[in-house]
Amino acid sequence: MKIRNKSALIISILIPLAIGSISALLSGNMSSYSMLVKPTLSPPGFVFPIVWTILYILMGISSYIVYSSNSPNKSKALLLYSVQLFFNFCWSIIFFRIELYFFALIWIIALVLIIIIMIKQFRIVSPRAAYLQIPYLIWCIFAVYLNFAIFILN
C-alpha cells in the first residue's frame, strides 16, 4: 500500500477508534454485563477492547484505501462505511446502556448485513480494502451469536 497522504491515513484510523471510544463511554457502566448469564464461547471481558482496537485500525486502513482510490464507486462505498459505523456506534448503547437485548440482536443482524454490502462495495473499489474488513465481519457474526445467547439466557 502506497501512502499518498499520511494525514488522511491517520484520520481514517482515528475515526473508527473515536466512534468506538465514544460509544463505549456512552454505553455506561458495563458491570451489569458481568452479571449476565453468558454462553460457553463467551470470551473474557479483557479480550473485547483488544479485538475492537485491532478491528477499528483495520477498518480505518481499509477506508483510507477506498478514500485514496480514483474509483467512481468510492463515494457509495464510503457512504455504506459511514452507515455501518453508525450502526456499530448504536449497538453498544442499545445492548449495554439500555439493555434491550432483543432489539440489540435485530440491530446487530442489520449491522452484519450492512457490513456484507459494504464489503461488496469496497471490493469493487479495492479488493485489499474489502479483505481488511473480513475480520470485522467475522467478529460481528460472533457478536450475533453472543447477543442471541444472552437474549435467550437472560
| pLDDT, average across residues 41-61 | 95
* Residue 149 confidence class, pLDDT cut points 50, 70, 90: very high
Domain ranges, ordered by start, for the chain: 6-18+45-153
| pLDDT, average across residues 41-46 | 91
pLDDT, position 66: 97
Residue 1 has pLDDT above 70, yes or no: no
pTM of the model: 0.94
DSSP code per residue over the chain:
---S-HHHHHHHHHHHHHHHHHHHHHT--THHHHHS---TTPPPTTHHHHHHHHHHHHHHHHHHHHHHS--TTHHHHHHHHHHHHHHHHHHHIIIIIS--HHHHHHHHHHHHHHHHHHHHHHHHH-HHHHHHTHHHHHHHHHHHHHHHHHHHH-
| pLDDT, average across residues 53-59 | 98
